[in-house]
Amino acid sequence: MGNTSCSEQVQARLGPILTSMEHRSDMIRLGSAPHVFPALLVVLLLTFAPVAAEGSSEVTELHVISSHSHDEGAFTQGLEMHEGSLYESTGLYGSSSLREVDPSSGEVLRQTQLDQSLFGEGITIVGDTIVMLTWREEIALVFDIVTFEIIANHTYSGEGWGLCYDGNHLVMSNGTSDLTFRNPSDFSVEATLLVTNQGIGVDFLNELECVGQTVYANVWGNDSIIAINKTTGEVESTIDASVLAENESDGYNDVLNGIAYFPERDAFLITGKNWTSMHLVSFENSQTPSDGNISKPLPLNFLKGILPFLLIAAFVIILSSMRLLSVIIRFPLLIIARRQTEKPPPPTDGRSRGE
């Protein structure tokens, strides 16, 4: 004992030192099962809580106000309304163009063709100019809005897909889940924003439209339009536009693409690549009563959200009931066994003890 350190003596008196995990296990072994089940319920509820929260995202409906003709030869890449005029960019090598279109009739009023080496992409209007991206040529063309003449250009790295102007920055997509905020004067990158829907990145962001604090985006190959919070990058709502594609070609490239905000009507012009029609539509929160019909997604989402809680509660109740039943059965058996052990021994004959 003379060679034993003080710390070893203390440990010997107190017993083995437990790690935090061993300590928790020891407590569970010593505690009764009824205490374990509520703790397990709390842990499981906390685990499933985010699932319920994520299920409450806003649902937005699309309402068609009117439909108009659209040039089915236009491989639409960008759409923009400005002072009552509609501007459209088209793509494909050898067919890319910038055009002004009558929004009511769909008639092409004027257009200019791009060089055959360029594949036109999204457009937006900055002052008295129209800025157009190119797909893989890494060049943005700046057109005079009156003459359609190219008066400047900017270079960038990577692909160009969609473009919009929020009054301070050019917001650009490149087919990934990122939005790039650029200086409108020199096209330099000032910020990059990851777009997510319930924590998951949204890829294939395509044509864009900036309206206030929201960036509306087509998602390539998808019949939905998403509304993105331009500060957080979170998708605030999704608009199902599949009804607009029902009468259009189902070709691989003939997808929904083209969003132009019509401020005078607080509505949007929507079309697609090689579509025969474009549609003036409004986006309305489906949780708001419309035309006397009350939307039902909210109760459905609520039930989906609390389903994990109900399943866990049922599981705990079943386990608790089984344990209670076990206790009820064991109780009379223990009483019987105890009485048998307390019964006095039977009397014996004195003669057997030599009396």
Contact in structure between 57 and 227 (CB atoms under 8 Å)? no
CA 3 to chain centre: 66
The answer to which of 11-25, 142-156, 230-244 has the lowest mean pLDDT is: 11-25
The answer to which of 64-78, 141-155, 299-313 has the lowest mean pLDDT is: 299-313
pLDDT at 202: 96
Residue whose structure tokens are 């034993």: 4
How does DSSP classify residue 102? -
State the average pLDDT over residues 59-71. 93
As a whole number of angstroms, the distance between CA 152 and CA 142 comes to 5
State the average pLDDT over residues 13-29. 39
pLDDT at 12: 42
As a whole number of angstroms, the distance between CA 178 and CA 157 comes to 14
pLDDT at 292: 35
Residue whose structure tokens are 């009117």: 66
As a whole number of angstroms, the distance between CA 325 and CA 322 comes to 5
Contact in structure between 103 and 83 (CB atoms under 8 Å)? no
Asked if pLDDT for residue 94 goes beyond 70, the answer is yes
Contact in structure between 45 and 256 (CB atoms under 8 Å)? no
3-state SS assignment for residue 5: coil
State the average pLDDT over residues 259-282. 96
Among candidates 101, 92, 97, which has minimal Cα distance to 277? 101
Tell me: the pLDDT tens digits for 292-320? Answer: 332 333 344 445 456 666 777 777 677 66
pLDDT at 62: 92
In sequence order, which residues have a C-beta less than 8 Å from that of residue 254 and are 6 or more positions away? 248, 272, 273, 274, 275
Residue whose structure tokens are 């919009």: 164
Tell me: the pLDDT tens digits for 246-259? Answer: 888 877 788 999 99
More confident: 266 or 1: 266
Q: How far is CA 245 from each of CA 140, 232, 239, 260, 289, rounded to the nearest angstrom?
A: 30, 30, 13, 17, 26
Residues for the chain: how many in total? 355
The answer to which of 2-6, 144-148, 208-212, 290-294 has the lowest mean pLDDT is: 290-294
- State percent of the chain over pLDDT 70: 67
Q: How far is CA 217 from each of CA 65, 174, 300, 305, 333, rounded to the nearest angstrom?
A: 20, 12, 27, 27, 71
Cβ–Cβ contacts within 10 Å for residue 278, how many?
A: 27
Tell me: the pLDDT tens digits for 151-187? Answer: 999 999 999 999 999 999 999 999 999 999 999 999 9
State the average pLDDT over residues 274-296. 65
- State percent of the chain over pLDDT 90: 59
pLDDT at 286: 47
Tell me: the pLDDT tens digits for 204-250? Answer: 999 999 999 999 999 998 999 999 999 999 999 999 999 998 888 87
Contact in structure between 224 and 234 (CB atoms under 8 Å)? no
pLDDT at 154: 98
Among candidates 97, 130, 101, 98, which has minimal Cα distance to 116? 97
Fold of 60-287: Methylamine Dehydrogenase; Chain H (2.130.10)
Asked if pLDDT for residue 115 goes beyond 70, the answer is yes
Report residue 329's pLDDT band, with 50, 70 and 90 as the boundaries: confident
Nearest-Å Rg of the Cα atoms of the chain is 35
How high is the mean pLDDT of the chain?
79
Token pair for residue 253?
């490239």
pLDDT at 341: 59
3-state SS assignment for residue 354: coil
Contact in structure between 126 and 165 (CB atoms under 8 Å)? yes
Residue whose structure tokens are 């400005």: 82
3-state SS assignment for residue 347: coil
Domain ranges for the chain, please list them.
60-287
3-state SS assignment for residue 314: helix
More confident: 116 or 61: 116
More confident: 253 or 141: 141
